[in-house]
């Protein structure tokens, strides 16, 4: 984990030091180095990209991971398919949680207890999580809204930016994360995307995560990203970007045929673009802003 990031510094490094544990800090993620280091380790912390790449390696199995205590995933959404495949191959259920620079850690699937694919778990002790509408009022259970956090883990404000601080805190002390999510009857938090990634097409809201989860189920699709691009008729056009598995052939018609009947018509992608890879930052997060910038004139 990069130590310029809160996951790598405040969580991985500081917690290890507090625990008196040893750290094997690799210069970069590289499968050969990971498999060399793993026999000396009991805990691995990473981003979803690490786990998807290890799943492509034939060395991954119960024999190479049997001595490990826990595998932790964070910093970006983990696909339920990755969670299930990892458990099938290794016998370990990935432990996914949710944090951010302004709050450190907010929620986590339990160390002992059910780790639910597609969920970032339950609020940590002392942390309050609510799902709110634009006006800050809580939405009914199960509905999608803005994730807001209050607790001793939340920062006091942005350095020398009082106006930004005021804009991102509610009067009752809840911090507006910018992430959209929902909490089910089980109390587990599920993230559906960033607020800025919400697509408004023809006046209707579209949450990219809902579409991406279906795209990733299509045979031959390695991964996907859905963004809204400027559209003269609809305001924003739902656009799907795909990376295909080796030697796979998936056409736009294949994608639409697969989605028809599973999504409302206004949620269907207006274009499907196949890429060799999705743009990512150093943490492995997909940079949707780069896609929006590069393909801004696709419909114009």
Give 274-291 as a DSSP string: EESS--B-TT--B-HHHH
Residue 117 lies in a domain: no
The number of residues making up the chain comes to 300
Helices (H), the chain: 6, 14-19, 31-37, 48-55, 62-65, 80-90, 162-168, 208-215, 252-259, 288-294
- The span from the CA of 193 to the CA of 180, in Å, is 5
pLDDT of residue 94: 98
Residue 100 lies in a domain: no
Tokens standing for 72?
Answer: 């932790």
Please check whether residue 137 is in contact with residue 172, taking contact to mean a CB–CB distance below 8 angstroms.
Answer: no
Q: What is the pLDDT of residues 160-170, one digit of tens each?
A: 999 999 999 99
Question: What CATH code is carried by the domain that includes residue 54?
Answer: 3.40.50.12820
Give pTM, 2 decimals. 0.85
Q: What is the mean pLDDT of residues 257-276?
A: 96
Residue 74 lies in a domain: yes
pLDDT of residue 274: 97
Residue 107 lies in a domain: no
Same domain assignment for residues 188 and 202: no
Residue 98 lies in a domain: no
Domain boundary among 78, 93, 108: 93
pLDDT of residue 81: 86
Residue 28 lies in a domain: yes
Q: What is the pLDDT of residues 11-70, one digit of tens each?
A: 999 999 999 999 999 998 999 999 999 999 999 998 888 999 999 999 999 999 999 999
Question: What CATH code is carried by the domain that includes residue 156?
Answer: 2.30.38.10
DSSP per position, 71-100: EEE-SSPPPHHHHHHHHHHHSPPPEEEEEE
For the chain, the domain total comes to 3
Same domain assignment for residues 12 and 68: yes
The SS3 assignment for 67 reads coil
Q: What is the mean pLDDT of residues 1-10?
A: 85
Please check whether residue 92 is in contact with residue 68, taking contact to mean a CB–CB distance below 8 angstroms.
Answer: yes
Nearest residue to 199 via CA among 239, 228, 241: 228
Domain boundary among 171, 192, 213: 192
Same domain assignment for residues 244 and 281: yes
Same domain assignment for residues 80 and 142: no
Same domain assignment for residues 188 and 238: no
Domain boundary among 93, 110, 135: 93
Q: What is the pLDDT of residues 169-223, one digit of tens each?
A: 999 999 999 999 999 999 999 998 899 999 999 989 999 999 999 999 999 999 9
For residue 180, the enclosing domain spans 122-192
Same domain assignment for residues 230 and 289: yes
* Distant-in-sequence, close-in-space partners of 251: CB < 8 Å, separation ≥ 6: none
Q: How confident is the model at residue 3 (pLDDT cuts 50, 70, 90)?
A: confident
- The span from the CA of 238 to the CA of 199, in Å, is 7
What's the first-to-final CA gap in the chain, in angstroms?
Answer: 40
The SS3 assignment for 48 reads helix
Residue 168: phi and psi, rounded to 5, are: -110, 5
Residue 228 lies in a domain: yes
Same domain assignment for residues 262 and 237: yes
User: At what angle are helices 252-259 and 208-215 packed, to 10 degrees?
Assistant: 110
Q: What is the pLDDT of residues 145-157, one digit of tens each?
A: 999 999 999 999 9
Same domain assignment for residues 21 and 76: yes
Same domain assignment for residues 187 and 203: no
Question: What CATH code is carried by the domain that includes residue 251?
Answer: 3.30.300.30
Same domain assignment for residues 187 and 215: no
Q: How confident is the model at residue 139 (pLDDT cuts 50, 70, 90)?
A: very high
Same domain assignment for residues 188 and 203: no
Same domain assignment for residues 169 and 203: no
Residue 299 lies in a domain: no
Q: How confident is the model at residue 294 (pLDDT cuts 50, 70, 90)?
A: very high
Q: What is the pLDDT of residues 235-262, one digit of tens each?
A: 999 999 999 999 999 999 999 999 999 9
């Amino acid at each position: 984990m990069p130590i310029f990031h809160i996951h790598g510094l405040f969580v991985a490094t500081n917690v290890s030091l507090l625990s008196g544990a040893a750290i094997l800090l690799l210069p970069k993620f590289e499968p050969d180095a990971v498999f060399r280091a793993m026999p000396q380790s009991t805990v691995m912390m990473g981003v979803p990209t690490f786990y998807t790449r290890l799943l492509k390696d034939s060395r991954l199995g119960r024999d190479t991971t049997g001595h490990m205590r826990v595998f932790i995933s964070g910093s970006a959404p983990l696909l339920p398919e990755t969670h299930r495949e990892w458990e099938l191959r290794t016998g370990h259920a990935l432990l996914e949680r949710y944090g951010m620079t302004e709050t450190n850690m907010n929620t986590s699937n339990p160390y002992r207890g059910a780790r639910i694919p597609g969920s970032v778990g339950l609020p940590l002790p002392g942390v309050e999580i609510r799902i709110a509408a634009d006006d800050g009022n809580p939405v009914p259970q199960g509905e999608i809204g803005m994730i807001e956090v209050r607790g001793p883990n939340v920062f006091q404000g942005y350095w020398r930016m009082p106006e930004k601080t005021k804009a991102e805190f509610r009067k009752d002390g809840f911090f507006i994360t910018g992430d959209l999510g929902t909490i089910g009857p089980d109390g587990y938090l599920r993230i559906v995307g960033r607020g800025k990634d919400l697509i408004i097409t023809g006046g209707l809201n579209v949450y990219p995560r809902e579409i991406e989860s279906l795209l990733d189920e299509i045979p031959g699709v390695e991964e996907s990203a859905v963004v809204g691009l400027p559209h003269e008729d609809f305001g924003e056009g739902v656009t799907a970007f795909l990376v295909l598995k080796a030697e796979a052939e998936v056409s736009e018609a294949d994608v639409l045929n697969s989605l028809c009947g599973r999504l409302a018509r206004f949620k269907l992608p207006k274009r499907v673009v196949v890429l060799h890879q999705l743009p990512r930052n150093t943490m492995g997060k997909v940079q949707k802003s780069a896609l929006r910038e590069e393909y801004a004139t696709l419909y114009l």
